[in-house]
Amino acid sequence: QGVNQRVTDLSTIVERETTIMYGIMEDAQDDRSQLRGRVNLLYRDRPVIVV
């Protein structure tokens, strides 16, 4: 029974850590998307210099 409990505990830990990692990855993707939007907005609003 000790081995079964350790396997169950390990499975629970892996599932929890995987969920956390996916959340972190989604947050990073959202941050990049927001930054991309800001850069695009600044790029569109910049003055045009004709030489």
Indicate whether 36 pLDDT > 80. Answer: yes
Average pLDDT over residues 26-35: 94
d(CA 12, CA 6): 10
Least confident of 1-10, 23-32, 37-46: 37-46
**Has residue 51 been placed in a domain?**
no
Residue 42 structural domain:
1-46
Flag whether pLDDT at 33 surpasses 90. yes
- Write down the pTM of the prediction: 0.63
The answer to whether position 10 is within a domain reads: yes
Lowest-confidence pick of 1-5, 22-26, 32-36? 1-5
In a domain? residue 7:
yes
What is the pLDDT, as a whole number, of residue 49? 79
Q: Which ranges of 1-51 does DSSP label H, i.e. alpha helix?
A: 2-45
How many separate domains does the chain show? 1
The C-alpha atoms of residue 5 and residue 15 are separated, in whole angstroms, by 15
In a domain, 26, yes or no: yes
